[in-house]
Amino acid sequence: MLRSKFNNIAIYVSAFIIIALILFAVLRDTSEPITLRDAQKLLENHNVTKVIATKEYVFLKTDNALYKIASSQVSPKMFVDYEVEIESGPNPLVYVLLLILVLGIGSFAFRWYQKNRTVLSTSSAGNSTAPISSNEPIQAIRPNISFEDIGGISEVKIELSEIIDFMKNPKRYRNFGARMPRGVLLVGPPGVGKTMIAKAVAKEADVPFFYQSGASFVQIYVGMGAKRVHDLFTAAKKNAPAIIFIDEIDAVGKKRDGNRNDEREATLNQLLTEMDGFEESSDIIVIAATNKIDVLDSALLRAGRFDRRIFVDLPTKRERASIISKYLANIPNETDIDALANMTVGFNGASLAALVNEAALLSLRQNGARVTMEHFHQVKDKVIFGKRKLLILNEEQKAHRVCYQAGKAVAATVFNIDFEKLLLSNESMTPPVTTPLLKHEIESRIKMLLAGVAACELQFGEHSSSAKVDLDEAKQSIKEMIDDFGMGEALYASKEQEDALLDKLYHETKETMSSLNSVLEYVEAILFERESITKNEIRRKLDGLL
């Protein structure tokens, strides 16, 4: 009986292999893709012996090879000297073979299930707690993306060059008594290229790269996520020096807030333990990415774990120009890079890539020889449609935005509020404060929040609706001062005190902005030119004025 069963299985497997080989021989595509320019050259030189057209491709057959090009790239006038064969679809024999293959596999599967369903039922009942997640081995990859392939992010590259040098020359640092950070956290909005940056670090350092998303650690059964974390670090240690990259780490590293979730906590605890377990000579660096640093557990952010944080912001005008230039390097074009950079305020790297690609596809559909500015204007709305969070500005809106951000930057510098660099696209300029503040320190922060409105009112007599975020924060701070901190004219709280304090601070801010008009103009000019400015640049201008 066992032998008979084995014979039946062998017959089905053999039939499957034979039909699969036949289908492979019939269906496989042996043609080589070519560009429009190469296709035109073959046709002009009369090297083509046969032209076959399908719905998706046009095949060009020569004496020695078979080439194909997408139908959307060519036009009928290219083949006036040739007789084009129209191929509507595969040979009917293909469908017959497919039907036989499907019926054979289905018949085998049904018979096997009928014979073994009792055993399957018993097995599933006795192993109801078995994990359903995959146990695929964790493999290292060798990225092919270098920093040369990534436009902009010059400051990020400088920050990470030290990590790369350490991976290449660890003895130099150890002999000096220095220890590199065990974890690097890349923080920034979606689409700015955090994953590409991590891959580029591994490429530049020439080390294995282990990629896992935070979601891959989220399992149904307790202990499976922790095991996945352990397997990841074990594999990396066996291939040291190496880089571990965890994308969207907030999926597994959220704050432990008392809402019990045994599996997530077990996975997070395992991650913390593995990072603590690094030996000084392990040569493993963990890079993680998130756009929600505020939800991460504090244990992840302490020294010895992710103790270096690198903020990857939306690209500035100069960086956008660099990114666009790289994407256009291999595309025939007649474009103005500076004009493209000006029209893409608020675009991230991914959006710029999509914009260039859509413009190139449009040019091909229109049988154009080059991508032009007109193509970019036509596809811009298509790329940004539905992306509410991207800040896309016309010229008038940009002028108001520049004035608003200049007011905030100048106020933050005057009142010595911590910030390093202001970007035109930034919604929040200063990091959150966790230490206690004195009354005048809170008032200074409120004035900074009101400075953008004050600057716009002085220059334009109006401000935009985007001021809502700062105004809400200013009002909330005043409410806390009066209600919670007792910093009003009296210890008891009242709405009149809140209104009076808000009015007083706004007028003082407006007077400050009016007295620093030349500084505001200086900051606005820089923001118009490169869409970013540092606190040191504003400080030097203020010192020169005072």
Structure token pair of residue 365: 């559909």
Provide the pLDDT confidence category of residue 371 given band limits of 50, 70 and 90: very high
Provide the pLDDT confidence category of residue 20 given band limits of 50, 70 and 90: low
Residue 134 has pLDDT above 50, yes or no: no
Give the start-end residues of each E strand in 278-325.
284-290, 308-311
Residue 117 has a pLDDT of: 47
Tell me the residue type at 247: D
Residue extent(s) of CATH 3.30.720.210 domains in the chain: 2-92
Percent of the chain at pLDDT above 70? 78
Provide the pLDDT confidence category of residue 94 given band limits of 50, 70 and 90: low
Alpha helices by DSSP H, listed for 255-394, are 262-276, 298-301, 317-328, 337-342, 349-365, 373-384
pLDDT average, residue stretch 63-87: 77
Residue 196 has pLDDT above 80, yes or no: yes
Query: By the 8 A CB rule, do 244 and 284 touch?
Result: yes
Q: Which of 56-65, 152-161, 271-280 comes out lowest in average pLDDT?
A: 271-280
Query: By the 8 A CB rule, do 203 and 146 touch?
Result: yes
Query: By the 8 A CB rule, do 477 and 445 touch?
Result: yes
Place of tokens 């292999």: 17
Query: By the 8 A CB rule, do 160 and 184 touch?
Result: yes
Structure token pair of residue 355: 């914009």
Residue 516 has a pLDDT of: 93
Angle between the N-to-C axes of helices 495-515 and 517-530, in degrees from 0 to 180, rounded to the nearest 10: 80
pLDDT digits (tens, 9 = 90+) for 232-284: 888 888 888 889 999 888 888 888 766 656 677 888 888 888 887 665 556 78
Q: Indicate the pTM of the whole model.
A: 0.53
Q: Per CATH, the architecture of 2-92 is what? A: 2-Layer Sandwich (3.30)
Provide the pLDDT confidence category of residue 128 given band limits of 50, 70 and 90: very low
pLDDT digits (tens, 9 = 90+) for 203-228: 888 889 998 887 777 765 556 788 88
Residue extent(s) of CATH 3.40.50.300 domains in the chain: 147-311
- Overall size of the chain counted in residues: 546
β pairing state of 371-372 and 32-33? unpaired
Provide the pLDDT confidence category of residue 546 given band limits of 50, 70 and 90: low
Residue 455 has pLDDT above 60, yes or no: yes
Compute the distance between CA of residue 451 and CA of residue 457 in angstroms, rounded to an integer: 10
Bigger pLDDT: 509 vs 55: 509
Residue 81 has pLDDT above 90, yes or no: no
Beta-carbon contacts of 284 under 8 Å, excluding residues fewer than 6 positions away, are: 182, 233, 236, 237, 240, 241, 242, 243, 244, 278
Tell me the residue type at 224: M
Place of tokens 């896992």: 212
Span between the terminal Cα atoms of the chain, in Å: 100
Residue 477 has a pLDDT of: 92
Beta-carbon contacts of 432 under 8 Å, excluding residues fewer than 6 positions away, are: 294
Compute the distance between CA of residue 355 and CA of residue 337 in angstroms, rounded to an integer: 13
Q: Which of 9-13, 220-224, 310-314, 410-414 has maximum average pLDDT?
A: 410-414
Q: Which of 111-115, 437-441, 492-496, 542-546 has maximum average pLDDT?
A: 437-441
pLDDT digits (tens, 9 = 90+) for 483-496: 888 888 777 778 88
Beta-carbon contacts of 290 under 8 Å, excluding residues fewer than 6 positions away, are: 185, 186, 187, 248, 249, 250, 253, 296
Query: By the 8 A CB rule, do 389 and 373 touch?
Result: no
Residue 133 has a pLDDT of: 43
| Domain range 395-545, its CATH number among 1.20.58.760, 1.10.357.10, 3.40.50.720, 3.30.365.10 | 1.20.58.760
Beta-carbon contacts of 362 under 8 Å, excluding residues fewer than 6 positions away, are: 375, 378, 379
Q: Please state the CATH superfamily assignment of the domain spanning residues 147-311 in this structure.
A: P-loop containing nucleotide triphosphate hydrolases (3.40.50.300)
Angle between the N-to-C axes of helices 2-27 and 92-126, in degrees from 0 to 180, rounded to the nearest 10: 140
pLDDT average, residue stretch 47-72: 82
Q: What is the mean pLDDT of the chain?
A: 79
Bigger pLDDT: 105 vs 317: 317
Structure token pair of residue 250: 């907030």
pLDDT digits (tens, 9 = 90+) for 30-39: 778 888 778 8
193: closest CA among 331, 322, 359, 343? 322
pLDDT average, residue stretch 520-543: 89
Percent of the chain at pLDDT above 90? 19
HEC-encoded secondary structure of 423-439: ECCCCCCCCCCCCCCCH
Residue extent(s) of CATH 1.10.8.60 domains in the chain: 317-384
Residue 23 has pLDDT above 50, yes or no: yes
Tell me the residue type at 73: Q
pLDDT average, residue stretch 433-452: 88
Compute the distance between CA of residue 395 and CA of residue 519 in angstroms, rounded to an integer: 22
Residue 126 has pLDDT above 60, yes or no: no
Q: How far is CA 437 from the centre of its chain?
A: 36
Residue 120 has a pLDDT of: 41
Beta-carbon contacts of 331 under 8 Å, excluding residues fewer than 6 positions away, are: 356, 360, 371
Which helix (H) or strand (E) segment holds residue 372: the answer is strand 371-372
Provide the pLDDT confidence category of residue 332 given band limits of 50, 70 and 90: very high
217: closest CA among 183, 247, 185? 247
Q: How far is CA 491 from the centre of its chain?
A: 49
pLDDT average, residue stretch 23-33: 65
Compute the distance between CA of residue 287 and CA of residue 281 in angstroms, rounded to an integer: 18
Residue 129 has a pLDDT of: 36
| Domain range 317-384, its CATH number among 1.10.3720.10, 1.10.8.60, 3.40.50.620, 3.40.50.300 | 1.10.8.60
Bigger pLDDT: 412 vs 72: 412
Side-chain half-sphere CA neighbours of 478 within 13 A:
24
Query: By the 8 A CB rule, do 36 and 69 touch?
Result: yes
Query: By the 8 A CB rule, do 180 and 165 touch?
Result: no
Residue 489 has a pLDDT of: 79
Residue 392 has a pLDDT of: 62
Provide the pLDDT confidence category of residue 528 given band limits of 50, 70 and 90: confident
112: closest CA among 201, 8, 188, 196? 8
Q: Which of 54-68, 76-90, 161-175, 233-247 comes out lowest in average pLDDT?
A: 76-90
Residue 22 has pLDDT above 90, yes or no: no
pLDDT digits (tens, 9 = 90+) for 405-414: 999 999 999 9
